[in-house]
Structure 1
């Protein structure tokens, strides 16, 4: 039986969490990862070597790796700040491989072989772009790590230089996909940056694959305070040039459980709220809602995360149902 081709689009910790859950299923995984990050160890590496951001790539590679746990732990090990600048070893390994090959996508591919990565990890672009945002007062903020710090409403984000093109591998993965999953992750600084390199938008709009958006559970300071689930969809559609009122997405996976009494006070102190499921708007956009009472994981400190096993299960269920329906119709 031919494996279902699933392409994940995103960045940050959300994508690595999803990848870790989905690798248990008999699917062919490709992960298109944002490379516009400029904070922490990643930012220091980018300052010293003109290369795309390695941090999110490193996390996804680790999630999909089949090597022994000690080697995986070594790959994500972060040095003490006063010794090696707080660098993660995986970032340094990617930088070294990039220095050897002169091609970031090739560096990721070669290191993936060493780590026995189950699937294909693909940088969204082979260049080293900066993420910029136009705020609601028309001010422009440059730098992925600076955008949320301004704490203003974001109107749109774009890459500098604006002629940044996608890797051929990223475009091909989208075109070949049976299912394309967007998120979870920071809307404007992890998910949408992957849509911006030239070639990606056309590939998504032309794709016959099922498109699934994984909604964040909580709104995020500096990005989505006050956003509903439909607002997240509209932001993605806007950046894809979809302006008909009907979303490019076929499904949205979201939380509909009331978890307010179980979560940390940190969220309310920072004006973060549960992303509301405005069902009527979502359905008017032509998007089907998928949910599960087990979708949310809350730890002892009240921190909210997706349950990666349940999230992967929902995506696999959607894929099996929709693809079998399409095959039957054919």
Structure 2
């Protein structure tokens, strides 16, 4: 048996042109992500390939997702909803109307009675945002909203509620408290050019221990976005049962997610909150082995700008943490690689990069233009074209 290799060119204009011409037969790219950091990239990606797979975290405990989690003990659905809409086929008739509905938030300054009335109009299909939406999508949406409305606690705070989140939550409640069936239905109706799923369909939360020994429970207290940033660096992260006390819990990777990871043409550890968006996905039992079983390129594209979760964590420390979490020892990456490439912009200052140490771990560095105008923002097109050049 012989190995076949090729010279890596990034960006590879021949491959990029081929994929843009025929995105329906382009390679499959798998992302471990959460949050909104990847949504702009996802919107560009669907023009190059219709086979991206996005495994997102269901562990968020902030925003409007938090209210639904408290009311129904449901996994967080906000990241799921935003990624589905980012991948929606925008050429489909009526799609802007659906996008507007899923993105709409109920007013923050309305009374409880006004909010309940507006939800009732949405569930009945008489709301102004519902009128342009045609069957069968309209029927599907109103069915889920009616289910949610009927089961909503009387004191539920609807201020600022995302209608897209309410639709998915209603679908969860009407499908034996499972997310996959409603995600499948919504994805089919908006014709997502790619796939989106939670890494697991569970109601777990996140917990971290700081270097000071303090334990912090809940994604909303960790990210430094809704609450004040953590004063000490994160030392350890785990899946936790509930938010009341330290209660680590394990979770097993579903079979269909395992197959997606093992069969992807490329695996990307993308930008986003390092611990609560990226690492959180990798805490699930079975993820590490599935990545090891995939022989195709595995790439880490690190954050730009300031991520409050990365306090005290330089780029080298993050790479080592990623490898150690998945393998137990960074040097094992030479034998059973979970990371082949560190993809970085050719001019951006990522801090200290020890190339010899990376080489000792079996991680190669590729530098290429990834930033155009905004200094702390990747160019979506340059990132997508760089990633596809590895396939």
TM-score, structure 2 normalization: 0.72
Structure 1 consecutive aligned stretches of length 4 or more whose deviation exceeds 4 Å: none
Mapped contact 2:340–2:362 kept (Cα < 8 A): yes
Give the Å deviation of 1:46: 0.9
Larger RCO (CA within 8 A; separation ≥ 6) = 2
Q: How does 1:1-330 map to 2 (within 5 A)?
A: 3-67=26-90, 68-83=95-110, 84-102=158-176, 103-148=178-223, 149-161=229-241, 162-221=249-308, 223-245=309-331, 247=333, 248-258=338-348, 275-276=350-351, 278-280=353-355, 281-295=357-371, 297-298=373-374, 304-319=376-391
Residues 1:87 and 1:297: Cα distance change in structure 2 (over 3 Å): farther
Mapped contact 2:88–2:193 kept (Cα < 8 A): yes
What is the aligned residue count? Answer: 299
Larger Rg: 2
Q: Give CA deviations for 1:150-205 in whole Å, capped at 9, x if unaligned.
A: 33111121102412223333222101111111111111010011111222222112
Residues 1:108 and 1:27: Cα distance change in structure 2 (over 3 Å): closer
The separation in 2 between residues aligned to 1:181 and 1:158, in whole angstroms, is: 21
Mapped contact 1:219–1:226 kept (Cα < 8 A): no
Mapped contact 2:320–2:330 kept (Cα < 8 A): no
Mapped contact 2:358–2:364 kept (Cα < 8 A): yes
The separation in 1 between residues aligned to 2:346 and 2:354, in whole angstroms, is: 10
The separation in 2 between residues aligned to 1:307 and 1:32, in whole angstroms, is: 22
Give the 3-state SS of the residue equivalent to 2:268 in structure 1.
strand
Range that drifts further, 34-43 or 202-211: 202-211
TM-score, structure 1 normalization: 0.84
Structure 2 unpaired stretches of 5+: 1-21, 111-157, 224-228, 242-248
The structure richer in strand per residue is 1
